[in-house]
Amino acid sequence: MQNKGLIKFFAILFALVCIYQLSFTFVANGISEDAKTFAKGDFTKELRYLDSIGKETVFLGKTYNEVRDNQLQKGLDLEGGLNVILQISVKDILSGLANDSKNVAFVKALNDAKTNQRGNQDYIDAFFIEANNANLKLASSDIFGNKNLDEVIKFDMTNAQIEPIIKQKVIESVESAFGVLRKRIDQFGVTQPNIQMLGNSGRILVELPGAKDVDRIKKLLQGTAKLEFWETYKIEEVANYLISANEVLKKTEVAIKDEVKDKVSTGIDSLLTDKADSTQVQSNPLFEKLQITQQQGLSVLGYAKVTDTALIGGYLRRSDIVSNLPNALSNIKFVWGKTDEKTPDIVELYALKRGRDGKAPISGGVIVDARDTFDQLGKPAVSMQMNGTGAKEWEKLTGKVSQQGNAIAIVLDNIVYSAPGVSRGAISGGQSEISGNFTLNETKDLANILRAGKLPAEAKIVQSEVVGPSLGKESVRSGMLSFIIGFSLVLLWMVVYYGKAGFYANLALLVNILFIFGALASFGAVLTLPGIAGIVLTIGMAVDANVIIYERAKEELDSGKTVEEAVNYAYTWKGAMSSIVDANVTTFITALILFVLGTGPIKGFATTLLIGIITSLITAIFITRIFLDWSLSRNEKIAFSTSITKNWFKNLNFDFLGKRKIAYVISGTLIVLSLVSLFTKGLNQGVDFVGGRTYQVRFDKAVSAPQVTDELVAVFGSAEAKVFGNDNQLKITTKYKVEEEGEEIDKEVANTLFDALKKHLPADLTYEKFVNSYDGKNIGIMQSSKVSGTISKDIKTNSIWAVLGSLFVVFLYLMMSFRKWQFGLGAVAAVAHDVIIVLGIFSFFYTILPFNMEIDQAFIAAILTVIGYSLNDTVIVFDRVREYLDYNSSSDFKGLVNKALNTTLSRTINTSATTLVVLLAIFFFGGDSVKGFVFAILVGILVGTYSSLFVATPVMNDTMSDKEAKKMAEFKKEE
């Protein structure tokens, strides 16, 4: 090997860099444990401790913050926390750019774009398609040619000319939202938050490791922070209209029977107390749901149950009721108030005075600062300071309200937070305060989002995943256990099979592990549970390069060469290098496609696989060679086998091609059975592909999954509960309200789930403990996820393209590498064979086997891994065929193919065995969440090994005519 000194230098340098990078992880973990010990389970106290030492020098001249930023980051499945994808409403942005145009065709195009949006298609592209189909002139003055955009959009512009301008404006708005969200998150105080824009889709990924207060964080992220100040109507001004509305409803609403209501001691008992028994017929449709305020002069019109607000709002928006509005109330706007912790089921109704333009007198844009504080009664409040313009408007508005005796409603995101009166005349200076029934956390969050600013459009969570810290710790333990067991078994096998050479391969494997983790830390990659599976799988596949080299060296020794000559030849391109490169390039292509199209944990799996492929090549080709050369320089005997294995797989002469018809029958039967199951039974598609909500719920005792399913169907309409791991843990899936977005919807669904499961949970378990995360949690929601229909369509589209794209690219690569399309066809046929059979097995057994067999992103990652492995195996055989064509004068093409299959069988079985051993370790010890993922790869490896021997090569052989085969052999000899 040339330049041994230089290679050693870079190997040592790279190892030192990896150790340096990983040292930050050890230091940061130590400090984090100190913080946990200090806080004794108080997450807020833990954060304060870490913040307090953030700028202190703790290691090699670096502060704790710098050390923390350089550590190997753990994903949510290992750390616990919250992962969400927020969809910024591009529809709202376009409407805003059009100055809220009421153009009927424009509004229809906006709505149709959402309805007809295809998987993986950006909303804005769908909108322009709809606009063009409707022949809508977007440059008109009542759409984008308005005064807000007249500097960039001219009346004579075509839609094609306008499109890039509008797209740029949308990008700017999303970037603005990105900045606002980052400010909010930075002030919220989670450690190592990650926020990034996802292309031009209007989606923003937010990862908050260690976050525990789920409902609070979701509310913080989704709040638009659209702050407005409105005048209110008093009850006496609106009462007659409400009475007339009730009279109209009497004529149209079907009488129903009222249910007995529970009493609450809130001063509004009359709302919740029966005025009659449970058999009394309803005679006042509106007032049976809305309890009107009796005292004059108040801005609160009445009270209603939260569950009745949609019905009451529908009543008040009905055209036959709105037509009764007197002129004095023509600008009225009904808005609900904020819920109170003491009476969370009751809200207040307000009536706001709209101006001629329908806008509030003062908006939140005038706020320059906001702070959480306490009001005169010592209750939590938010103090706000306005700019000069706002101060003048505020003085004008407060003076007017003071004279009229009504109130100013402080409205945030269309909810009245408070409605104070003004008794001392106009307020100057621009200082204002929001007071009401707030908790300390609520005022902190409210001040935070007001300082950060409002979002340019509505932001809704379309995909989310919540993992509890206890589950994360369990995943770390199971992941590391599978890693240690799999790694140990591979080390043992290499020594048993290859003796001293296997020991050197093991040393290189240890260096490989150091390089993988060091590279992950250096690149700032996130380590996930699938990522650990990727590393363990890489260990199994890492020995492949050494196996190819060692098997080639054994062949050269058998031909009479010395050990040194055999080693030198094995490391040449004509020896083992061409096979190693071709095999790893095909695997790398599939991993790269997975990295580009995957998200979240799957991207983590692809990252570790990509890094593992590169480091495995480096260590096998260079590090193992250094150890071998060192051994040879000391005249040590190396046989590349042991006394047990030295005669294994020698002098094989199995007629693989002769048995191809039997293989075709077996494969054809399996494919037909798979297709029958796929078309009749189908697949168990996970929420990634069909949308929905998933909850992993743990109980304190065993529960009946069928019973829980029936109970959930009664409240959700459709739901499914399956045992997940142990019989005290269920995986619950439902599509209930998955297309309805917003923090309140998510909270409602979680509340409904809690109420439905309450009989199976400990009596003292509260909703907060059931839904939120905390250290040591072992009962309640351990993990949850939500995928909206739009996201699921994108995921499915990406997955299909990932599989088809990898097959196409690999086909092209093999066709160019081997100069014959038959080689590419044989490889692709084998892969298609493997994929169909794996799908068929998952289709047939998903109702039988006792672990999760959903078709989701993890399954697609498994399929692509199988594709890469199957191709790897096939390419090794094809390379040997190519080699024999180079050096053999025989015109017996089929004989050469059979010989190639027999001489590479040792490598095929060795690599398959080591990989299978590792996968079995992950399957049994890696945790419930990866069982289905690993099972798919296990099946794929078995089927892939079979197909490389009995499908890929026979297909290549049968599609190549004798004339072509002979011509190819002659062509090779001439080269």
Distances (CA, A) of 781 to 411, 771, 914: 33, 6, 37
Q: Are 779 and 698 in contact (CB under 8 A)?
A: yes
**Are residues 614 and 540 in contact, defined by beta-carbon separation less than 8 angstroms?**
no
Query: What are the tens digits of pLDDT across the range 659-670?
Result: 888 989 999 999
Q: What are phi and psi of 139, to 5 degrees?
A: -85, 0
Question: Per-residue pLDDT for 78 more than 90?
Answer: no
Q: What is the mean pLDDT of residues 209-221?
A: 70
d(CA 930, CA 533): 8
Residue where the block lists tokens 């269309």? 414
Is 353 strand, coil or helix?
strand
Q: What are phi and psi of 291, to 5 degrees?
A: -85, 110
Spatial neighbors of 541 by CB under 8 A, at least 6 apart, are 587, 612, 613, 616, 869, 872, 911, 915
C-beta separation of 627 from 551 below 8 A: no
**What is the pLDDT, as a whole number, of residue 268?**
41
How much is the average pLDDT of 708-712? 86
Is residue 278 scored above 60 in pLDDT?
no
Report the SS3 class of residue 830: helix
Confidence class for position 227, pLDDT limits 50, 70, 90: confident
| Better-scored residue on pLDDT, 64 or 242 | 242
Q: What pLDDT sits at residue 195?
A: 75
Confidence of residue 671 (pLDDT cuts 50, 70, 90): very high
What is the phi/psi pair of residue 588, to 5°?
Answer: -65, -40
pLDDT average, residue stretch 938-962: 83
The average pLDDT across 500-528 equals: 84
Computed over its alpha carbons, how large is the radius of gyration of the chain?
A: 34
Strands across the sheet with 780-787, in order? 194-198, 203-209, 81-88, 459-467, 780-787, 692-698, 726-734, 719-724
Q: What is the pLDDT of residue 672?
A: 94
pLDDT for 384:
82
Write down the pLDDT at residue 973. 44
- 81 dihedral zone (left: phi>0; alpha: psi -120 to 50; beta): left
Tell whether the model's pLDDT for residue 965 goes beyond 70.
no
How much is the pLDDT for 545? 79
DSSP string, 217-255: HHHHHH----EEEEEE--HHHHHHHHHHHHHHHHHHSPP
**Percent residues over pLDDT 90 in the chain:** 3
Instruction: Indicate the pLDDT class of residue 334, thresholds 50, 70 and 90.
Output: very high
- Given this model, what pLDDT does residue 136 score? 85
Looking at residue 665, its pLDDT comes to 92
Residue 349 banded pLDDT, cuts 50, 70, 90: very high
Pair of tokens at residue 150 = 């007249």
306: helix, strand or coil: helix
In order, the DSSP letters of 316-346 are HH-HHHHTT--GGGTTEEEEEB---SSSTTE
To 10 degrees, what angle do helices 905-925 and 857-887 make? 170
Who has greater pLDDT, 189 or 764? Answer: 764
**102-106, 141-145, 264-268, 743-747: segment of lowest average pLDDT:** 264-268
Tell me the backbone φ, ψ of residue 865, rounded to 5 degrees. -65, -40
Per the rule left: phi > 0, alpha: psi between -120 and 50, beta: everything else, 688 is alpha
Task: State the pairing for strand pair 194-198/203-209.
Answer: antiparallel
**pLDDT per residue over 555-596, tens digit each?**
788 778 888 888 888 888 777 787 777 777 777 877 787 777
Alpha carbons 431 and 164: distance in angstroms, whole number:
42
End-to-end CA distance of the chain: 27
**DSSP secondary structure string, 410-439?**
EEETTEEEE--B--SS---SSEEEEESS--
Q: Is the pLDDT of residue 357 over 80?
A: no
592-629 pLDDT tens trace: 877 776 665 567 677 788 888 888 888 888 888 888 88
pLDDT surpasses 80 at 838 = yes
Instruction: Check residue 269 and give its pLDDT.
Output: 43
Stretch 870-885: mean pLDDT: 74
Residue 281 has pLDDT above 60, yes or no: no
Task: Please tell me the least confidently modeled range out of 464-473, 688-697, 776-785, 914-923.
Answer: 464-473
Separation in Å, CA 509 to CA 227, 341, 620:
59, 58, 8
Model pLDDT, residue 264: 34
Interatomic CA distance for residues 714 and 621, integer angstroms: 62
Q: If you search the block for the tokens 């209750």, which residue do you land on?
A: 379
pLDDT for residue 674 = 92
Beta-carbon-side half-sphere exposure of residue 201 (alpha carbons within 13 Å): 19
* Residue 968 clears pLDDT 80, i.e. is over it: no
**Which pLDDT belongs to residue 491?**
82
Q: Does residue 395 or residue 445 have the better pLDDT?
A: 395
In this predicted structure, the answer to whether residue 742 has a pLDDT above a threshold of 70 is: no
Write the pLDDT tens digit of every residue in 372-428: 888 777 888 888 888 888 888 888 888 888 888 888 888 887 888 888 787 777 888
The residue-averaged pLDDT of 796-808 equals 71
Q: Is the pLDDT at 715 greater than 80, yes or no?
A: yes
Structure tokens at 577: 């290098």
User: Which phi and psi angles does 407 have, rounded to 5°?
Assistant: -140, 170
DSSP 708: H
Q: What is the mean pLDDT of residues 793-807?
A: 70
Q: What is the pLDDT of residue 419?
A: 82
Indicate if the alpha-carbon torsion angle 927, 928, 929, 930 is positive or negative.
Answer: positive
Strand 726-734 vs strand 719-724: parallel, antiparallel, or unpaired?
antiparallel
- Supply the pLDDT for residue 886: 59
User: Which two structure tokens, joined as six digits, stand for 896?
Assistant: 């050469």
Q: How confident is the model at residue 280 (pLDDT cuts 50, 70, 90)?
A: very low
Query: What is the distance between the alpha carbons of residues 352 and 363, in angstroms, rounded to a whole number?
Result: 14
Average pLDDT over residues 341-351: 84
Give Cα 212 to chain centroid, integer Å.
18
* Range of 764-768, 776-780, 795-799 with top mean pLDDT: 764-768
261 confidence band (pLDDT: 50, 70, 90):
very low
Structure confidence by residue, pLDDT tens digits, 626-660: 888 888 888 878 877 877 877 777 766 788 888 88
Work out whether the CA dihedral 832, 835, 838, 844 comes out positive or negative: negative
> Is the confidence at residue 486, as pLDDT, over 50?
yes
Q: Is the model more confident about 119 or about 768?
A: 768
What average pLDDT does the structure give for the chain?
78
pLDDT at 866 over 70: yes
**pLDDT given at position 3:** 60
Question: Is residue 686's pLDDT more than 70?
Answer: yes
